[in-house]
Amino acid sequence: MGQEVEQSVDPPVLSHGGHKAASIKVLDQPLPNGTSTWTPSSWTSKPIKQDVVYEDSSAVQKSLAKLERLPPLVTPMEIIKLRKCLREVALGKSFLLQGGDCAELFDYCEENAIESKIKLMLQMSLVLIYGANKPVVRIARMAGQYAKPRSSPMEAHNGGQIHSFRGDILNGYAVDERKPDPARLVSAYFHSAATLNFIRGSISSGIADLHSPLDWELGHVKDEKIKAQYERIVNSISESLRFMRTVGADSAASGLETVDLFTSHEALLLEYEQSLTRLMQHPPLRPKLSPPSSPSSAPDQFINGGTHVNGANETFSKGWYNTSAHFLWIGDRTRQLTGAHIEYIRGIENPIGIKVGPTLAAAELVDLLNAVNPAKEIGKVTLITRYGAKRIDELLPSHIRAVRESGHTVVWQCDPMHGNTSSTPTGVKTRHFSSILGEVSSALRIHREEGGFLGGVHLELTGEAVTECVGGSEGLTEEDLDINYTTYCDPRLNEKQALELAFLVAGHYRDGR
């Protein structure tokens, strides 16, 4: 019997672009670049905010080389499907619900934590579909939301300075784990993969089947009014399904048994995003790059990958897809027009978001749109407004008008969380439900007054019975915060508060019909 020869696997080799990313991770300065051509690593030649500098160059290169070799987490087909869905949102034909944890922890990669958020997103979308009478596009802040921007990279501790906690992808919350560790980049990939696997398995196993919506338990929600409202909607849907089954239409409605749940995170760590950005074949029916002259009435136009369109001389066969998530956004702290994050995000095929805060002038907002979406593709960009309840009336109208006059057709999404954060006298971060509710109500009203519509909401929430935001029908007070305050970053809506918000938005649409 012959001796078996063990085959060795070559270690991952870091690409040229990966070396660029690894270099600035230890040099903390942009690399020179004499060209304006976009590549996944062209961001390395731009000034960067919210960056992290590692101590061990070889460890950074090892992690990035590993990431470049790992398979995609999401596919171009899924990404293009979301682009098509967001086009419908931008045209007012669908509504966008985006939500999840402020900073996702590796410990949240666990069955109950994932399932509770899936069910909450399903419950909220069911309420919104019933109220708005239009499809709901669901995007979760899950399977990758492991990094968070911070006001300062360092914080005081016992008379000294330690690294601020910036999310599990960079460092740990424990004091002895605060040094940025590049091995966590790879760990983030595998936690994302496991979370995505469970999400896909749950949906394919029927967790979203509309034939049994009462199986979407309300969990920790104790409020009988909320339960009664939800059960009335469920009963109405159940009656409709029984009618469809009676007339034979039920078997043809395949959408009743499953849903799409897309994933998203903030594109903060560009070395991670670059490593999972791949040149891939476009799927068929990719959305057309140039917008029609009349977006509201023009039929959908799509490109069949690799074919000529309208006599154009170029073919569209491949593109750069960020395969770490379906949707990525740029935060209010990193949206500098000439900065690294805008340089990176402008070149990928994924639909993208830009946070719009009080410091963003209307002219600069238009410049940003022109930079990331020069073809003015409908729904390519989601503008996530986060002004605060006290300032939205002052700021949102001018932004709406500037974007309309620019010719861009975007998804307008309200983030009522980040502009309404406050601290208690003892220093505990919280948010008042009335302020969150107020900003959403104002956004709905202002968009209507400006002749448009709010396309969606962007929420930090959890399916657990946390006590982090005060107010709501349960009447949580600041004294209740320590009952179950578990966030490592910003306060989140609990399941009951999130459902209350969904009922508010649904009620607005029903009252307007």
Report whether 202 contacts 118 (CB < 8 A): yes
Helix axis angle, 111-132 to 224-247, nearest 10°: 70
Q: Is 463 helix (H, G, I), strand (E, B) or coil?
A: coil
For residues 284 and 409, give the distance between their C-alpha atoms in angstroms, rounded to a whole number: 23
Please state the φ and ψ torsions of residue 329, each to the nearest 5 degrees: -130, 160
Give the pair of three-digit tokens for residue 331: 């935060």
Q: Find, among 346, 377, 130, the residue nearest to 233 by Cα.
A: 130
Give the pair of three-digit tokens for residue 1: 């019997």
**E strands present in 189-274:** 261-266
Starting at the edge strand that comes first in sequence, how are the strands of the sheet with 421-423 ordered?
421-423, 429-432, 469-470
Annotated binding site for phosphoenolpyruvate: 141, 355, 386
Contacts for 46 with CB less than 8 Å, ≥ 6 apart:
30, 338, 339, 340, 343
User: Which helix H or strand E contains 397, and what residues bound it?
Assistant: helix 392-406
Q: Is 511 left (phi over 0), alpha (psi -120 to 50) or beta?
A: alpha
CA-only gyration radius of the chain, Å: 23
Annotated binding site: 102, 141, 355, 386, 418, 460, 490
For residues 270 and 17, give the distance between their C-alpha atoms in angstroms, rounded to a whole number: 12
Report whether 493 contacts 464 (CB < 8 A): no
User: Which helix H or strand E contains 95, and what residues bound it?
Assistant: strand 95-100
| Segment 294-303 long-range contacts (CB within 8 Å, at least 24 positions apart) | 295/90, 295/91, 295/378, 295/409, 296/91, 296/92, 300/84, 300/87, 302/84
Query: Which residues make beta-bridge pairs with 413?
Result: 384, 456
Annotated binding site for Mn(2+): 102, 418, 460, 490
Query: Which residues make beta-bridge pairs with 459?
Result: 99
Q: Find, among 370, 374, 424, 438, the residue nearest to 402 by Cα.
A: 370
